[in-house]
Structure 1
Amino acid sequence: MRDHSTGRRGFEGVLMAVAATFLTVSATSAPAQSPTRSPADLAIDAAVPVPTPVDLPPPSIGDFKLDSAPPSVTDPTKNAAAPAKAEDRKDATAAAPSAAGPSNDTAATTPATDAPKTEAPPATAAAPAAEPAKPATEQAASPKPAEPQQPVSKVAAADQPVADQLRDLLAKSASRYFERKVERSAVEKFYEARDYAPVWTSAGALTAPAKGVIARLKDAAADGLDPDDYPVPNFTAATSPETLAEAELRLTESMMDYARQAQSGRMHWSQVSGDIQYPEHPIDPAQVLAKVTTAADASAALDSYNPPHKLYRELKKKLAELRGEGDRPVVKIAEGATLRYVPAQKRRAEATMDDPRVPQLRARLGVTENADSTAYDATVAEAVLKFQHSAGLNADGVLGDRTVQAMNTPKRDRAIDTIIVNMERWRWLPRDLGVPALGDAYVILNIPDYTLKVMQHGAEVWSTRVVVGKPGKHATPLLTETMKYITVNPTWNVPPSIIYNEYLPALQQDPTVLDRMGLKLSRNRDGSIHISQPPGEANALGRIRFNFPNKFLVYQHDTPDKNLFGRDERAYSHGCMRVQNPDQYAATLLNIAMPDKSYTPTKVRSMYGRSEVNLNFPTPIPVNITYQTAFVDDAGKLQLRKDIYGRDAQMLALLKNVKSKNLEAVVAHSQPNYTRPTRLPDGVSVAGDYTGSSGASSNPFSFFENLFGGPQPRPQQPAARNQRRVYTR
């Protein structure tokens, strides 16, 4: 059975509290609700004393004590706070005025001194009284709260419609104008920072930067570029915000293409060959936008991305001169007998030949002396010789069929094409060829001219002749690296490619060939074959090797075979470069790298011996190996050289047949990977140093001549193998 006694007692307590409250309220409000009384009743009331009313609060349930209360489990923290809360309620109840208050009649009979003091109620007990209304003037004087300021627009009102269109175009189709992500991102940030205000137009009219950029793009041919690759939009026909926004982005696109190709080239060098390695130097699109759009001369700012080198600028001038010939007809030289001039000798007078073609020949070569003479004299022969030299022909001063054919080929067409591809190759080279710490010193080698020059402070310090690689697989690579040290008395460690392609086949035919050449055959620790030549006068590298480490494993060095330097064409090596005067070359470089050491050729030669000596450069010197078939000499004349590796023809074919943007992609080339051989031909063995037999050969130097491009003196046989010693200075 459920016990209802506890719940009933609680309910009865509540009823008693409600009843008491009702009686109290009724008693206090009764005088106010009593009807109007007679004078007799009032007199009786005045005679009977009435107790002074006390202002007591109405009873609450807390004033009634119940018989028992059900136990409850509460939070100790709440129990601790309960007394304080109850006390607060009592204080608030005591301070609160009576709900109805005493009647006016009662208040009149109560002495003033007995009136209870009224305390200010707590904030939670009653709402504060409403403030009186302020005068209108005071309300007007009070400041209103400041509203947040709107950012000031950077766009002129007349350009706002174009800016809106630019915002939409870049948001929806930016990749249609800028294929490269880095350029697209830079353009988006550039216009966003401007609130998409156009930079090339203002109120529909071209700005000064736009005029400068357009002028440079239209004159792109002056720098050997194709103006068709950088189209200029028709701003005159752009009359709506949509067409103006389209023209804006098209001009930005053409400007970016020009800057990129002017700096790095229309074609990447890997498109031409796998034996080219130049450092990359791409543009910074954000820097291009900032520089060109804020420059006082936007045309000059855009032109600054072309190569700054002196030789490039000279080619540009010659290109303008050749194009300035216009459509002037070329003087044709008819075919005929071979003409030659024989100078006078001790017992024989000079011999000249008469030919009716000579006046045309004089006009063609610019010989103004005796313009109508038909004599093929010394003056004409000298002019023919210079032409042959500039055209890459055998320069002998004899007018033969090949010379006539070269003269009849329009010079401006052939020379212009040659200049253009050479200007393109200049874009591959670093902007700074030298090192500032050494007075911008650097080495530059021109393969088709077979020359090497040392430059410092913008001037030539020293030059010499060189022998370069044979056309084909032994072509000397084009590269830029830094020379870090020189080795005097180098040991020649034969590269694996030469072991594979040259020495193993030679050993197969003649097991004694290495012995007769002064080469040593041994095995490395891994069992692979190692062939080397110790230092000495007969070493294939000569007395000095110039080291600039590179992936092609080529270097510059001396050679015991000096006769090749007397030839006009000197492409005979396996790719390395032989220097005619290595002691002078070494002294020149050492004085640049270490000027306090006072090196001379004599001092360098004093180090010759049988032990390697490494001379380290505190600051490496850049080495630039180039391919210049067109250049301007010190006299200001255009020089043309034979395209010995076919680079010009290959580049011209690419430029004429392939879209320029497709030529900028990098092409991966597989490099030959020669692992060191381990197997020797039959009849050849290794036992310490290879000594071989003393078998004879009908032509003992034919292999060496084939390998190094010329006859080789018989080397002295070393008496015994000495331990290799290397000294570093």
Structure 2
Amino acid sequence: MRDCSNNRRGFDRVLMAVAATFLTVSASSALAQDTPRTSAAELAIDAAVPRPEPANVPPPTAADFKADTTAALPDAAKPADTKPVDAQAADAKPAEPTAPATAPEAKPADLATAPATKPADAPKTDTAIAPPAAAPAPATATAPAATPAPATAAAPAAEPVKAASNVPAEDQPVADKLREMLANKSLRTFDRKNERPAAEKFYSAREYAPVFTHGGKLTETGKGVIARLKDAAADGLDPAEYPVPDFAAATSPDALADAELKLAASMLDYARQAQSGRMHWSQVSGDILYPEHPIDPAEVFANVTSAKDASTALDGYNPPQKLYKELKKKLAELRGQGDGPVITIAEGPALKYVAAKKKQPAVEMDDPRVPDLRNKLGITENPDSTTYDATVARAVEKFQNSVDLKPTGVLDERTVKALNSPKRDKQIDTVIVNMERWRWLPRQLGAANVGNAYVILNIPDYTLKVMQNGAQVWTTRVVTGKPGTHATPLLTETMKYITVNPTWNVPPSIIYNEYLPALQQDPTVLQRMGLRLERNRDGSIHISQPPGEANALGRIRFNFPNKFLVYQHDTPDKYLFGKDERAFSHGCMRVQNPDQYASVLLNITMPNERYTPEKIRSMYGSSEIDLKFPTPIPVNITYQTAFVDDAGKLQFRRDVYGRDATMLSLLKNNRGKDLEMVVAHSQPSYSRPPSSSLPSNVYASGDNTGFNSSGPSFFERLFGGGFAQPAPPPVRRGQAQPQRRVITR
């Protein structure tokens, strides 16, 4: 028989443990309820969680031994008539981690936490019950029927919503491909380092939406850019250097994206060459030095794509000067494009004419392109005939011969291409190279604060003009440098002052190449010429001529300090101005009427002083006088063998320095973009011979002072006091080194 008393004692211990657990939970719940809520979210959760009345809790039984899962029930149950949570409570911030967030219908098993895996530890301490209240987030994740408050609490963990794209849906595939292509480091569409970053920045700002197409069709911007590229020949450029993709054949996002970037690259190539030239001036000669004015690719993207007329915006990168635009008009007239549209011969089968033989008649082909061909070749006989007869064949043969094609008389593919290419002849080529040289010049030729005044000297025309407010103010004849090593350089500098009664400091090249050999023959030659021989501090020889009527520089020198050491000046040899071709100097430019020239420049820079030629001549004497300009005036030395005169007539001048021939040779080599690269020219040597080269009976001033002759440097002597000869700047790799030029009387 079982001992019931022992069983009873075991049951009593179970009841006592359950009761102790219940009291502990009740006390914890009461303390939690007494804790004041600190936020709207906690108040909302507190209102939403049902709480049972104490009388509704049934007495514990043996089945209630799982105290760890039911300990949270006092906070999870509530009468059915509890008021619902209002909308503001539902939108409140997520509850703090210490607040339980369980749904009314959540099962106790759904609320189990780490202590539930260790039921044996539950009765020992309060820490076994605390974790369920301290970790509501896992509970809410497993309760799909949770109230709005728990749902709000889980929202921060959701994946962020992607911002809506501004790219039209039909362009999104192309945009995605553009993003991929620009991110590819192996992309070779853009030739220059600064172009690709500009393209990436431009397209990323558009979310990579294409700008030249929309929905696979060309936009107005795309049409405008293509029209300008195809008409590049009108500006003396080569359309072949700006290829236009076939957008009609681009039917896939990949093809459209590729065409987009290729057109952008051609657009940048056109803008760059239109502004700076197809070739760099250093390719032509070492005695050319103009300021660089490269394009900004980012500015080109912004300017062209935002313009109302993209073609006009792209055309704006060509030179803005009036003389350039006049040459452009003359180029169209020379090509026969001045009075109407350009005639284009369509592609088609080869056409030929076979002459009649003994028993065989002539073979004549018929083709609808023949009337255009007759018009293009200037055949006035039967202009509407579609027959490719002997007359047309002879005209084709003559054309083939003029463009270095085999004169077969057959209208083949190469002949059609040549017919559709811009017309070329000697005059056209001359105009094109002169348009190219205009691209080297600064966009702003004059000084803005004196009415855009500037000096422009044209070497082949031997003329100098002073321009102000877009009009010619004054002009005169000049003498320029001899062809070869004494050629006058092409440059842009600023004239800073005028020297009246200048001293002529003979340049080293004349000293060592001309005067020292003359001294070997006649030791008195310098004395008879009124020249002074000195020895510089470094032992080199210096020869000068004091101011005076017989001075090689005349009475006035016009100073615009430059690396070639050239300037403009008066001359006692006035008879040279009567010649048509006046290339006689050692590099400097002699001015026919220097007193008038000086008064014009001084009146531009100092109008209140009222300088006249008579006032200038009154300063003539034996002492140097410097008249400084408050505003320096730009001096542009150019080489224009083709230009339009004041009467609107196209003028041509002899290529005295061979510049045209050099440029045409470079252009016809089809080297393309290689011509844009800067090249370094070797510099001539101006090493001075040792003092022993002087004849034994010739002495230089300073010989008795141990070569301690003091005084200004050669550069200071050349351009006046206050100017030290500047050290040449470091030459970057590929940068042209200007030649040191010869100074002449």
Alignment TM-score, normalising by the size of structure 2: 0.64
How far the C-alpha of 1:635 sits from its partner, in A, is 0.5
CA contact (8 A) 1:613 1:727 kept: no
Q: Distance in 2 between matches of 1:119 and 1:247?
A: 75
Pick closer, same or farther for the CA change 1:237–1:600 going to 2, 3 Å.
same
Partner residue, 1:263: 275
* Superposed counterparts of 1:544-555, under 5 Å: 544-555=556-567
2:12 equivalent to 1:33: yes
Aligned with residue 683 of structure 1, among 678, 690, 696: 696
CA contact (8 A) 1:158 1:203 kept: yes
Q: Distance in 2 between matches of 1:639 and 1:484?
A: 32
Partner residue, 2:476: 464
Pick closer, same or farther for the CA change 1:577–1:136 going to 2, 3 Å.
farther
Tell me whether 175-184 or 317-326 shows the greater mean CA deviation.
317-326
How far the C-alpha of 1:650 sits from its partner, in A, is 0.7
Q: Which structure has the greater CA radius of gyration?
A: 1
Partner residue, 1:627: 639
2:614 equivalent to 1:602: yes
Q: C-alpha offsets along residues 230-278 of structure 1, whole Å, 9 cap, x if unaligned?
A: 1111111111111111111111111110000000000000000000000
Unaligned runs of 5+ in 2: 1-7, 36-67, 92-151, 340-422, 704-716, 723-745
CA contact (8 A) 2:229 2:242 kept: yes
Letter aligned with residue 299 of structure 2 = Q
How far the C-alpha of 1:660 sits from its partner, in A, is 1.9
3-state DSSP class of the match of 1:138? coil
Q: Distance in 2 between matches of 1:229 and 1:683?
A: 64
Q: Distance in 1 between matches of 2:270 and 2:216?
A: 24
Pick closer, same or farther for the CA change 1:543–1:502 going to 2, 3 Å.
same
2:317 equivalent to 1:278: no
Unaligned runs of 5+ in 1: 1-28, 36-96, 103-115, 328-410, 691-722
3-state DSSP class of the match of 1:531? strand
Aligned with residue 532 of structure 1, among 541, 544, 562: 544
3-state DSSP class of the match of 2:257? helix
Partner residue, 1:447: 459
Q: Distance in 2 between matches of 1:548 and 1:264?
A: 24
CA contact (8 A) 1:470 1:573 kept: yes
Aligned with residue 130 of structure 1, among 75, 94, 116: 75
Letter aligned with residue 491 of structure 1 = T
Pick closer, same or farther for the CA change 1:188–1:509 going to 2, 3 Å.
same
Q: Distance in 1 between matches of 2:13 and 2:677?
A: 111
Q: C-alpha offsets along residues 130-155 of structure 1, whole Å, 9 cap, x if unaligned?
A: 25569695388713458745222132
CA contact (8 A) 1:507 1:684 kept: no
Pick closer, same or farther for the CA change 1:684–1:179 going to 2, 3 Å.
farther
2:519 equivalent to 1:572: no
Q: C-alpha offsets along residues 623-650 of structure 1, whole Å, 9 cap, x if unaligned?
A: 0000000000110000000000000011
Q: Distance in 2 between matches of 1:304 and 1:136?
A: 75
Pick closer, same or farther for the CA change 1:673–1:206 going to 2, 3 Å.
same
Pick closer, same or farther for the CA change 1:584–1:167 going to 2, 3 Å.
same
Partner residue, 2:519: 507
Letter aligned with residue 138 of structure 1 = V
How far the C-alpha of 1:688 sits from its partner, in A, is 3.2
Partner residue, 1:207: 219
Q: Distance in 1 between matches of 2:195 and 2:186?
A: 10
Partner residue, 1:523: 535
Partner residue, 1:497: 509
Alignment TM-score, normalising by the size of structure 1: 0.66
Q: Distance in 1 between matches of 2:453 and 2:310?
A: 32
CA contact (8 A) 2:170 2:215 kept: yes
CA contact (8 A) 1:183 1:285 kept: yes
2:90 equivalent to 1:142: yes
How far the C-alpha of 1:677 sits from its partner, in A, is 4.2
Letter aligned with residue 598 of structure 1 = R
* Superposed counterparts of 1:394-413, under 5 Å: 413=425
Partner residue, 1:155: 167
* Superposed counterparts of 1:21-170, under 5 Å: 33=12, 120=31, 130=75, 132=77, 138=85, 142-143=90-91, 144=152, 148-170=160-182
Q: Distance in 1 between matches of 2:579 and 2:298?
A: 51
2:429 equivalent to 1:484: no
Q: Distance in 2 between matches of 1:666 and 1:489?
A: 40
How far the C-alpha of 1:412 sits from its partner, in A, is 7.2
Q: Distance in 1 between matches of 2:636 and 2:197?
A: 34
CA contact (8 A) 1:223 1:316 kept: yes
* Superposed counterparts of 1:171-320, under 5 Å: 171-172=183-184, 175-320=187-332
Q: Distance in 2 between matches of 1:653 and 1:308?
A: 27
How far the C-alpha of 1:186 sits from its partner, in A, is 0.5
CA contact (8 A) 2:235 2:328 kept: yes
3-state DSSP class of the match of 1:490? coil
3-state DSSP class of the match of 1:225? coil
Q: Distance in 2 between matches of 1:132 and 1:562?
A: 120
Partner residue, 2:148: none
3-state DSSP class of the match of 1:130? helix
Pick closer, same or farther for the CA change 1:325–1:207 going to 2, 3 Å.
closer
CA contact (8 A) 2:236 2:432 kept: yes
Q: Distance in 1 between matches of 2:596 and 2:338?
A: 47
CA contact (8 A) 1:174 1:184 kept: no
Pick closer, same or farther for the CA change 1:687–1:441 going to 2, 3 Å.
closer
Q: Distance in 1 between matches of 2:30 and 2:90?
A: 34
Aligned length: 511
Aligned with residue 436 of structure 2, among 424, 427, 432: 424
Q: Distance in 1 between matches of 2:665 and 2:13?
A: 125
Q: Distance in 2 between matches of 1:196 and 1:120?
A: 61
Q: Distance in 1 between matches of 2:700 and 2:574?
A: 35
Q: Distance in 1 between matches of 2:276 and 2:268?
A: 12
How far the C-alpha of 1:428 sits from its partner, in A, is 0.2
Letter aligned with residue 320 of structure 2 = P
CA contact (8 A) 1:521 1:689 kept: no
Pick closer, same or farther for the CA change 1:510–1:160 going to 2, 3 Å.
same
Q: Distance in 1 between matches of 2:631 and 2:498?
A: 13
Pick closer, same or farther for the CA change 1:312–1:101 going to 2, 3 Å.
closer
3-state DSSP class of the match of 1:185? helix
Q: Distance in 1 between matches of 2:209 and 2:202?
A: 10
How far the C-alpha of 1:659 sits from its partner, in A, is 1.9
Pick closer, same or farther for the CA change 1:149–1:492 going to 2, 3 Å.
same
